[in-house]
């Protein structure tokens, strides 16, 4: 019997501040996008070109809360987990589609900017709900009031 491996490992920088949300059962969920960069030399001009890739990932439970409360845009994160494909329907625009994302099982915060930052509420406020649905396939999370900055 042949074995297959569905495992992604990514080391990148957060593209935006984390936005923590909760399912109705209280489970925390955090969807993030990591940017990875690589360099390659143009064969014709001999210039170095920086290429960037964006990788969507999702964390659940305590992992989601840890990343949301301790990281901000530009911080570096290493994560590992299986690649999952899922369908979603945006409750506001009605748009539907498919997304591939890494379901993070392990993570390591590698670099957090040490400069002074005012505290950021990692819990999203003012979500666009429409008939109990929201974008990216979350099932009607109950908005939770967070700490104010």
Task: State the pTM of this model.
Answer: 0.70
Residue 35: pLDDT over 80:
yes
Residue ranges per structural domain of the chain: 8-111
Q: Which CATH superfamily is domain 8-111 in?
A: Nucleic acid-binding proteins (2.40.50.140)
Let me know the angle formed at the C-alpha of 57 by 15 and 92, rounded to the nearest 5 degrees: 80
Residue 121 banded pLDDT, cuts 50, 70, 90: low
Distance (Å, whole) CA 87 – CA 71: 28
> What tens digit of pLDDT does each residue of 69-85 get?
999 999 999 999 999 99
């Amino acid at each position: 019997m042949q074995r297959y491996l569905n495992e992604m490992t990514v080391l990148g920088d957060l593209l935006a501040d984390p936005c923590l949300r909760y399912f109705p059962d209280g489970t925390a969920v955090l969807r993030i996008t990591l940017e990875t960069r690589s360099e390659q030399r143009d064969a014709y001009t001999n210039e170095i070109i920086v290429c960037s890739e964006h990788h969507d990932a999702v964390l659940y439970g305590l992992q989601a809360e840890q990343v949301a409360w301790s990281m901000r845009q530009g911080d570096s994160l290493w994560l590992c987990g299986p690649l999952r494909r899922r369908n979603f329907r945006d409750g506001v625009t009605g748009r539907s589609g498919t997304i591939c994302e890494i379901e993070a099982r392990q993570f390591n915060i590698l670099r957090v900017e040490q400069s002074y930052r005012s505290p950021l509420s990692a819990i999203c406020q003012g979500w666009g709900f429409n008939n109990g649905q929201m974008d990216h396939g979350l099932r009607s999370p109950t908005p939770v009031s967070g700490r104010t900055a």
